[in-house]
Structure 1
Amino acid sequence: MPKLTIDHIPVEVPAGTSVLEAAKSVGIWIPHFCYHPALGSVGACRLCAVKMVDGPVKGIQMSCMLPAQDGMVVSTTDPEAVKMRSLVIEWLMTNHPHDCPVCDEGGECLLQDYTVAGGHGIRRYEGKKRTHVNQELGPYIEHEMNRCIQCYRCVRFYQEYAGGSDFGVMGSARRVYYGRFQEGKLESPFSGNLVDICPTGVFTDKTARFRARYWDYEMAPSVCPHCSLGCNTVPAARYRELLKTIARENPAVNGPFICDRGRFSNAAVNDPARPRVPLVDGKEASWDEALDALMLRITELEELYGPGSLAVVGSPRLPLEGNVLLARLAELLGAGHLCYFAEREEGERVAAAVSLLAGGKAASMADVRKADCVVILESDLRDEGPMMLLAVRQAWRSGAPVFLVGKHAPLEQARAVSIEAIELNIIEEVPLGIFERAVVICGTRNNAPAAIELLARAEAKIAPLLPGPNAFGAGLLAREHGAVTLAEAVASGKVKGILTVEADIPEVLLGGVPFVAALDWLSTEAVRRAELVLPTAAWAETDGTFVNFEGRAQRFRKVMTPGLPIRGLPARYHASPDKPAPFHPPRVHRSVPPGGELRPAWRIVAKLIELCGGEPVTEPFKGRWELLRGLDPEGGGVRLLR
């Protein structure tokens, strides 16, 4: 391992590490634009200049392009290096618009930071600035080409890393332009990463534009709830409205990027019409009234139909805390059925996947990126787990062959990220035995449970894509408690009442059931059908834990206070109901914001346990789940199965 000295600090790093990364490892930050850990070095911006004082290389060098070597003596504070960096900033500012006060990137702009840090405050250039015409790039990305500093990050990510083909660089010299041949929506399902990866304000989130500055946001480490991959994110909110979602790096899971579904699917959280107050027979009620009514009707249900007529239903999207407590609640209520899945086939497929991974065959997304062979079995990754498709592309770029097996693994998914794939009918045709790091990505939507179980014989690690952010956790609990699916419970003819907690239940399973009570934050079919509705806090409004497809438990934190967004307040909350001002909060002093009495699902379940005579619950994780107490939301998570 090379040993060098940076600013009088001895450093030892693995061979191949750049001087820039070596400096970062000891807390020395060298300014840079074009370099990105996931994209590598191109030496385009020339901002990472350092002075090589002694050793095998001397003079001014670009630290991102120079591998660390024994005996190097590096200075980041040498006057020549400082002057070089300040001149680079001045060159970049020559044609840059001075629009910081109105630029929606203000507060999170690297050019802004480095300009101030480099001491560049006086404009010497008096000529006319170059200007560009911006393009319409669809509903999510705003384009402002005049802010571009030609760092090439955007095109390197879009074309090289993500395999997009409808965006690139055109022109030459000072006429370089990054965009499309013609205006239109960006086609890549990962286009939103341009917002995060651009160091200036060329690409910004159109959905949150001019809504807040960076320092106005409420933010917290979180986990994406839109599929089973468990990508790490940082949601940003203001005034009880989820404005945007930023990628958060986790090398074992999503790396530094997320998909567009995870980035832009905020509408459900912000919906003013979602359940926000308890309802009893369609009428608003207090929490105490609703809870008492629920307990009374469950008692009446048992008296009318006998013991065991109630089914308690959790779900793959309910955080682990709530699912864990459901078993205790079902026991105290005397419920005849405990369910974690609605459909029978869905439950069987998840059970097969959980049993399969119990043998230590689980593959993470990091394993997929490093695989030397990837098999996509009966799955369209664009739908079941988009970021997994991006991981497959990184393996393909490193030389791994990609096999698409089965009629539900369309070639279009490979074309979406510009990879060449081999189509086969059955997995037995794949020569897995000749590879050392083969991974089979198995969709559970179209694979039969028997087919999933057969993968235990495959000479490869397995990555099963499951039907929800906590489907793995629900599968573990279903196996632990011997739970059945709701479809099986209803088919028995004994179910006359359903207590559902954040579960998506088909209408056909609700039709013949006399009594339905729902705890949820979405307007699901069960909520519309329910006699009693207890509104729960959405994932962005509470702490919780999801267990992703590989069995990795990850904690997410509360981002914002529950309540109606200011832009969604009904007229009755305004000073003049006949002339509501949708952009102004109510001029009324309140201890709780309108619609802000939502409670996390697990706390409602805990309250029901207490009303049933159980001990008060202050900590949902006990017994085998105690290892998840105090789980670091900014860490890599904990693998439950090894």
Structure 2
Amino acid sequence: MPKLIIDHIPVEVPAGTSVLEAAKSVGIWIPHFCYHPALGSVGACRLCAVKLLDGPVKGIQMSCMLPAQDGMVVSTTDPEALKMRSLVIEWLMTNHPHDCPVCDEGGECLLQDYTVAGGHGIRRFEGKKRTHVNQDLGPYIEHEMNRCIQCYRCVRFYQEFAGGSDFGVMGSARRVYYGRFEEGKLESPFSGNLVDICPTGVFTDKTARFRARYWDYEMAPSVCPHCSLGCNTVPAARYRELLKTIARENPAVNGPFLCDRGRFTNAPVNDPARPRVPLVDGKEVPWDAALDALMLRIAELAEVYGPGSLAVVGSLRLPLEGNLLLARLAELLGAGHLCYFADREEGERVAAAVSLLDGGKAASMADVRKADCVVILESDLRDEGPMMLLAVRQAWRSGAPVFLVGKHAPLEQARAVSIEAIELSIIEEVPLAIFARPVVICGTRNNAPAAIGLLARAEAGIACLLPGPNAAGAALLAQEHGAVTLEGAIASGNVKGIITVEADIPAALLDGVPFVVAADWLPTEAVRRAEIVLPTTAWVETDGTFVNFEGRAQRFRKAMAPGLPIRGLPARYHASPDKPSPFHPPRLHRSIPPGGNLRSAARIVADLIERCSGEAVADPFEGRWEPLRDLDPEGEGVRLGPG
């Protein structure tokens, strides 16, 4: 391993490490634009200049392009290096517009930071600035080409890393242009990463444009709930409105990137039509009245229909804390049925997939990126787990063949990321035995439970994509408590009441059930039919835990306060009696914001447990779940198994 000295600090790094990375490993930050850990180095920006004082190489060098070698003596503060970086910033700023006050990148702009840090504050250039015409790139990405510093990050990510073909670089010298041949929506399902990867304000989030500065946001480490992959995110909110979602790096899961579904699906959280107040028979009531009515009607249900006529239903999107407490509640209520899945076949498929977590066969997205053979079995990753498709592309770029097996594994998913894939009809045709690190990616939507179970015999890592962010956790609990599916419970003929907590229950299963209680933050069919509605917080409005497809438990934190967004307030909140003003926040002082009288699903279940037992719930994590009690929300998570 090479040993060198950087700013008088001895450093030892693995062979092949660049001087820039070596400096970063000991806390020395060298300014750079074009370098990115996921994209590597191209030496385009010329900002990472350092002075080599001694060793095999001497003089001013670009640290991102220079491998660390024995005997190097590097200075990042040498006057020549500082002057070089200052001049680079100056010529980058000759054409840059004076629009920091209106640029959405303000506060998180590398060019802004490095300009200030380099001491460049007076513009000597008095010529005419180069200008470009911007393009309409669709509903998500705002294009402002005049801010470009030609670092090539955007095109390197879009074309090389993500395999997109409808966006690129054109022109030469001062006429370099990054965009499309014609205006139109970017086609890549990962186009939103241009927002995060651009070091200036060329690409910004159009959905949050002009809404807030970086320092205005409420943010916290979180986990994406839109599929089972468990990608790490940072939701950014202001005034009780989720404005945008930023990718949060986790090398074991999503790396530094995020798919467009996870990044831009904010509307359900901000929907003014969300359940916001407790309802009993369609009338608003206080929380205590709603919970008292619930307990009374459960008692009446038992009197009329006998014991065991109640089903308590958890969910694939309900955080682990709520699902854990539901088992206690079902026992205290004397419920005849504890359910974590509504559909029988879906429950069987997920149970078969979770049984594969044991024995070290579960493959993470990091494993897929390093695989030397990838099989996609009966799955369209664009729908079941988009970031997994990006992981497959990285394996393919490293030389791994990609096999699409079955009629539900369309070739279009490979074309979406420019992968050359081989189509086969059955998995037995894949020569898995000749590879050292093969991975089979199995969709549970179109595979039968028996077919999923047979993958245990495959000499490969297995990644089974599940139908919800906490589907694995629900399956583990169903196994632990001997739970049944709601479909199976109703088929028994004695279910006359349902308490559903954030569960998506088909309308057909609700037909003929006289008593329904729904706790949810989405306006589901169960909420519309329920006699008692208990509004819950969304995942960004509470703390919780999801268990992803590989059995990795990950904690997320509350990022925003619940309540109606300022833009979604009904008219009665906007105006005072004497002077209507439709765009003004409420003039009444209150401890709870409008529409903010929500409780997390776990707290609602805990309140019901306390009413049944007379004892407060101290902690949902007991027994085998106790190691999750102090789970670090900024760590890589903890892998679980079915045992």
Q: What's the TM-score, normalizing by structure 2?
A: 0.99
The answer to whether the Cα contact below 8 Å between 1:363 and 1:550 also exists between their aligned partners in 2 is: yes
CA distance in 2 between counterparts of 1:538 and 1:345 reads 27
The answer to whether the Cα contact below 8 Å between 2:100 and 2:106 also exists between their aligned partners in 1 is: yes
Look up the SS of the partner of 2:246 in the other structure.
Answer: strand
The answer to whether the Cα contact below 8 Å between 2:537 and 2:599 also exists between their aligned partners in 1 is: yes
The answer to whether the Cα contact below 8 Å between 1:566 and 1:582 also exists between their aligned partners in 2 is: no
The answer to whether the Cα contact below 8 Å between 2:243 and 2:266 also exists between their aligned partners in 1 is: yes
Shift of 1:576: 3.8
The answer to whether the Cα contact below 8 Å between 2:545 and 2:555 also exists between their aligned partners in 1 is: yes
CA-atom RMSD, angstroms? 0.9
Q: Deviations over 1:83-122 (max 9, x none)?
A: 0000000010010001111111111100000000000001
Correspondence for 2:610: 610
**Of 268-277 and 574-583, the range deviating more from structure 2:** 574-583
CA distance in 2 between counterparts of 1:540 and 1:371 reads 34
Look up the SS of the partner of 2:113 in the other structure.
Answer: helix
Correspondence for 2:232: 232
The answer to whether the Cα contact below 8 Å between 2:575 and 2:584 also exists between their aligned partners in 1 is: no
Correspondence for 2:256: 256
Q: Deviations over 1:250-309 (max 9, x none)?
A: 000000000000000000000011001000001100000000000001110110000000
Shift of 1:492: 0.6
Look up the SS of the partner of 2:82 in the other structure.
Answer: helix
CA distance in 1 between counterparts of 2:295 and 2:12 reads 64
Alignment of 1:188-337 (within 5 A): 188-337=188-337
Shift >3 Å, 4+ stretches: 576-583
The answer to whether the Cα contact below 8 Å between 1:208 and 1:243 also exists between their aligned partners in 2 is: yes
The answer to whether the Cα contact below 8 Å between 2:576 and 2:587 also exists between their aligned partners in 1 is: no
Q: Deviations over 1:498-535 (max 9, x none)?
A: 00000000000001101000000000000001000000
Shift of 1:569: 0.5
Look up the SS of the partner of 2:243 in the other structure.
Answer: strand
Q: Deviations over 1:606-625 (max 9, x none)?
A: 00001112521021111111
CA distance in 2 between counterparts of 1:10 and 1:606 reads 55
Shift of 1:577: 6.7
The answer to whether the Cα contact below 8 Å between 2:352 and 2:449 also exists between their aligned partners in 1 is: yes
Q: Deviations over 1:564-606 (max 9, x none)?
A: 1000011111234798645421011001101111111001100
Question: Is 2:506 the counterpart of 1:506?
Answer: yes
CA distance in 2 between counterparts of 1:80 and 1:56 reads 19
Look up the SS of the partner of 1:612 in the other structure.
Answer: helix
Shift of 1:469: 0.4
Shift of 1:358: 1.6
The answer to whether the Cα contact below 8 Å between 1:18 and 1:64 also exists between their aligned partners in 2 is: yes
The answer to whether the Cα contact below 8 Å between 1:332 and 1:614 also exists between their aligned partners in 2 is: no
The answer to whether the Cα contact below 8 Å between 2:574 and 2:583 also exists between their aligned partners in 1 is: no
Correspondence for 2:80: 80
The answer to whether the Cα contact below 8 Å between 1:224 and 1:230 also exists between their aligned partners in 2 is: yes
The answer to whether the Cα contact below 8 Å between 1:310 and 1:495 also exists between their aligned partners in 2 is: yes
Question: Is 2:74 the counterpart of 1:69?
Answer: no
Shift of 1:161: 0.2
Pair 1:318–1:578, CA change in 2 (3 A): farther
CA distance in 2 between counterparts of 1:156 and 1:575 reads 51
CA distance in 1 between counterparts of 2:343 and 2:241 reads 33
CA distance in 1 between counterparts of 2:86 and 2:388 reads 41
Q: Deviations over 1:167-201 (max 9, x none)?
A: 00000000000000000000000000000000000
Look up the SS of the partner of 1:53 in the other structure.
Answer: strand
Q: How many residues align?
A: 640
CA distance in 1 between counterparts of 2:577 and 2:229 reads 45
Shift of 1:357: 1.5
CA distance in 2 between counterparts of 1:178 and 1:437 reads 37
Pair 1:15–1:580, CA change in 2 (3 A): farther
Q: Deviations over 1:423-472 (max 9, x none)?
A: 00000000000001000000000000000000011010000000100000
The answer to whether the Cα contact below 8 Å between 2:403 and 2:422 also exists between their aligned partners in 1 is: yes
Correspondence for 1:114: 114
The answer to whether the Cα contact below 8 Å between 2:328 and 2:609 also exists between their aligned partners in 1 is: yes
Shift of 1:22: 0.5
The answer to whether the Cα contact below 8 Å between 1:515 and 1:531 also exists between their aligned partners in 2 is: yes
**Of 46-55 and 574-583, the range deviating more from structure 2:** 574-583
Look up the SS of the partner of 1:359 in the other structure.
Answer: helix
CA distance in 2 between counterparts of 1:631 and 1:582 reads 45
Look up the SS of the partner of 2:613 in the other structure.
Answer: coil
Shift of 1:630: 1.4
Q: Deviations over 1:287-341 (max 9, x none)?
A: 0000000000111011000000000000110000000011000000000000000
Pair 1:571–1:117, CA change in 2 (3 A): same
The answer to whether the Cα contact below 8 Å between 1:567 and 1:582 also exists between their aligned partners in 2 is: no
Unaligned 5+ residue runs, structure 2?
none
The answer to whether the Cα contact below 8 Å between 1:571 and 1:578 also exists between their aligned partners in 2 is: no
Look up the SS of the partner of 2:588 in the other structure.
Answer: coil
Question: Is 2:11 the counterpart of 1:11?
Answer: yes
Unaligned 5+ residue runs, structure 1?
none
CA distance in 2 between counterparts of 1:591 and 1:293 reads 25
CA distance in 2 between counterparts of 1:291 and 1:458 reads 50
Look up the SS of the partner of 2:591 in the other structure.
Answer: coil
Q: Deviations over 1:477-514 (max 9, x none)?
A: 00000000000001110100000000000000001101
Alignment of 1:369-388 (within 5 A): 369-388=369-388
Pair 1:378–1:614, CA change in 2 (3 A): farther
CA distance in 2 between counterparts of 1:489 and 1:578 reads 56
Give the % identical residues: 90
The answer to whether the Cα contact below 8 Å between 1:571 and 1:577 also exists between their aligned partners in 2 is: no
CA distance in 2 between counterparts of 1:125 and 1:469 reads 53
Pair 1:140–1:580, CA change in 2 (3 A): farther
CA distance in 2 between counterparts of 1:591 and 1:338 reads 37
Shift of 1:356: 1.4
Look up the SS of the partner of 1:604 in the other structure.
Answer: helix
Q: Deviations over 1:117-145 (max 9, x none)?
A: 00000100000000000000000000000
Pair 1:435–1:583, CA change in 2 (3 A): farther
CA distance in 1 between counterparts of 2:584 and 2:373 reads 56
CA distance in 2 between counterparts of 1:254 and 1:584 reads 40
Q: Deviations over 1:386-410 (max 9, x none)?
A: 0000000000000000000000000
The answer to whether the Cα contact below 8 Å between 1:134 and 1:144 also exists between their aligned partners in 2 is: yes
The answer to whether the Cα contact below 8 Å between 2:575 and 2:582 also exists between their aligned partners in 1 is: no
The answer to whether the Cα contact below 8 Å between 1:353 and 1:464 also exists between their aligned partners in 2 is: yes
Pair 1:400–1:534, CA change in 2 (3 A): same
Look up the SS of the partner of 2:154 in the other structure.
Answer: helix
Shift of 1:370: 0.2
Q: What's the TM-score, normalizing by structure 1?
A: 0.99
Look up the SS of the partner of 1:442 in the other structure.
Answer: strand
